[in-house]
Amino acid sequence: MSKLGNLGARLHRGEISYDFVGKRKIWYGVSILITITAILGLAVRGLNMGIEFQGGAVFTTPVKMSTSVAQAEVFAKDASGHEAIVQKLGNGSLRIQIAGIDTGKSDQIKTKLAQDLKLNPEKLAADLVGPSWGEQIANKAWEGLGIFMVLVVIYLAIAFEWRMAIAALVALIHDITITTGIYALVGFEVTPGTVIGLLTILGYSLYDTVVVFDSLKEQTKDITKQTRFTYSDIANQSINGTLVRSINTTVVALLPVAGLLFIGGGFLGAGTLNDISLSLFVGLAAGAYSSIFIATPLVADLKEREPAMKALRKRVLAKRAQAAVGEDLADARGTAGDESDDNAPAVVGPRNQPVSRNRGRGRTSGKRR
């Protein structure tokens, strides 16, 4: 704790910092690589859509079945290789729904299933079912997503600035692409749960990015009035300053999801829980990564193209060059020149007066201003 607290303190004061912005080319490269993999996965393997999206076959058994729902699930999976939805109806018959089966395959599965269930295939009613999550729902979901993205860009452009809005959008698309790509690669079935997981990420990814941007906006308020830091330097300080928060929030959000994915999934094998938690897990991790490594460096990149920021960079570099010259002189005199870089208030030495007499003097302690 003490160590962690210290780390936080030193990050806060900028004593230690990692150069996130300076190494942005690496992060961009990593992201582009993952994104290409994801897109390839989507293109080659495609998404394995569940019965809710593409329909499938439904088999209805006669009444008075002794087979349990769990057994029937196993049989259906054996027969078809797909996850099946099995429900017991009021009259005791079973309704078995299997995704993605065309008529040709349906007969084969029906025969196999009837054999497993110890039924005469004649008695097993087979029919094709349409999607319950029809095209209209999907289209409306896309439409909603589009409208949301437009609005959020407008909102962020007003609340922050357009460069941040663009960067946030890029980070968001990055997260969604990676998550769907991993889905394609793993080959899990896409259920409504998956889609809902994806939409949850949408909000969370932006949430994370907005927190970092908020601190960035605050710290760059009077940036042109100083000549010590370039915009990239301050962006880097922002990331480092909010790093502890970013790590904590990601851990706290990921722990329950990891529980769902590894414990819940481990208990039951594949299932809806896994579908949802996988998309959440990958998406949350991607969201945390993109808020630090993609969104903020991208803002810095865009900002540095502004004439005002270019001029600032010139001034800063000129001053640093001057300082370097001055430092050489100072070193000759034997004082530490880099101390001047430290923004910390002057060190107040120990005092030997009683504490009570010392109150409210020197620095403000918040009681007397």
Partner 1 sequence: MAAPKKGRSASAQSKPGRSLALILIAIVALTAGMFASGHRTPRLGIDLAGGTSITLEAVNEPGQPNAINKTNMDTAVDIMNRRVNGLGVSEAEVQTQGDRNIIVNIPKGTNSEEARQQVGTTAKLYFRPVIQREATTGAATPTPSASPSGSASPGAGSASPSASGSAKAQDKVSGSSASPSAGATSQGRAVTDALKADASPSVSSSPKAAGSPSPAASGSADPSAAAAAKQYATLDCNDPKQRAVAGRNVKTGETTVACGKDGKVWSKFLLGPVDVSGTEIKKAQATLNTQGAGGWQVDMTFDSSGAKKFADVTAKLAQRTTPQNEFAIVLDDEVVSHPYVQTAITGGNAYISGSFTQKEAQSLANMLSYGALPLTFKEQSVTTVTAALGGEQLRAGLLAGAIGLALVVLYLVIYYRGLSLVAMASLLVSAILTYVIMSLLGPAIGFALNLPAVCGAIVAIGITADSFIVYFERIRDEIREGRTLRPAVERAWPRARRTILVSDFVSFLAAAVLFIVTVGKVQGFAFTLGLTTVLDVVVVFLFTKPLMTLLARRKFFADGHKWSGLDPKSLGAQPPLRRTRRPAGPAAGPADPKEA
Subset of residues 189 to 218 that bind partner 1, contact rule: CB under 8 A:
192-193, 195-197, 199-200, 202-204, 206-207, 210-211, 214-215, 218
Q: Are strands 125-129 and 189-190 parallel, antiparallel or unpaired?
A: unpaired
In the set 42, 271, 304, 337, which binds partner 1 (CB under 8 A)? 271
Any contact of residue 100 with partner 1 (CB under 8 A)? no
267 part of the interface to partner 1, by CB under 8 A: yes
Give how many residues touch partner 1 by CB under 8 A. 105
**Binding status of residue 257 toward partner 1 by CB under 8 A:** yes
**The only residue of 26, 33, 147, 325 in contact with partner 1, by rule CB under 8 A:** 147
Residue 50 neighbours by CB distance under 10 Å: 25
Local structure of 99: helix, strand or coil = strand
Please choose, out of 174-182, 231-239, 249-257, 327-335, the segment that lies near partner 1 by the rule CB under 8 A.
Answer: 249-257
**Nearest-angstrom CA–CA distance, 255 and 257:** 5
User: Hey, which residues between 42 and 71 contact partner 1 (CB under 8 A)?
Assistant: 55, 58, 69-70
Candidate list 103, 120, 348, 357; residue touching partner 1; CB under 8 A: 348
Instruction: Give the list of residues 6+ apart from residue 269 with CB closer than 8 angstroms, or none.
Output: none
- The answer to whether residue 268 forms part of the interface with partner 1 (CB under 8 A) is yes
Query: Which residue type sits at 129?
Result: V
Sign of CA dihedral 264, 266, 267, 269: positive
Q: Which among 222-230, 286-294, 320-328, 356-364 is the span making contact with partner 1, rule CB under 8 A?
A: 356-364
Where do the H-state alpha helices sit in 220-343? 231-241, 243-258, 265-268, 272-289, 296-303, 307-333
Q: Position 333: which residue type?
A: R
Rounded to whole angstroms, the Cα distance separating 346 from 247 reads 31
CB of 36 to partner 1, least distance (A): 28
The piece of 107-115, 291-299, 327-335, 341-349 that touches partner 1 (CB under 8 A) is 341-349
| Contact (Cβ atoms closer than 8 angstroms) between residue 240 and residue 7 | no
**With CB under 8 A as the contact rule, which of the stretches 180-188, 226-234, 273-281, 303-311 interacts with partner 1?**
273-281
Q: Which of residues 281-340 bind partner 1 (CB under 8 A)?
A: 284
Instruction: Copy the structure tokens of residue 226.
Output: 């100083």
The encoded tokens of residue 48 equal: 């394995």
Q: Work out which of 39, 141, 157, 330 binds partner 1, going by CB under 8 A.
A: 141
Shortest reach from residue 248's CB to partner 1, in Å: 5
Taking the complex as a whole, the smallest distance from the CB of residue 208 to partner 1 amounts, in Å, to 8
220 burial via Cβ count (<10 Å: 0-12, 13-18, 19+):
buried
Contact status: 74 vs partner 1 (CB under 8 A) = no
For partner 1, the binding residue among 273, 302, 323, 330 (CB under 8 A) is 273
Contact (Cβ atoms closer than 8 angstroms) between residue 60 and residue 124: yes
Taking contact as CB under 8 A, which single stretch among the options 113-121, 148-156, 222-230, 301-309 is the one that binds partner 1? 148-156
* Cα distances (angstroms) measured from residue 45 to each of 26, 182, 188: 28, 11, 11
Cβ neighbors of 154 (< 8 A, separation 6 or more) are 165
CA 247 to chain centre: 12
Over the window 156 to 185, marking each residue x when it contacts partner 1 by CB under 8 A and - when it does not, the resulting string is x--x--------------------------
Q: Which range in 19-27, 30-38, 99-107, 126-134 contacts partner 1 by CB under 8 A?
A: 126-134
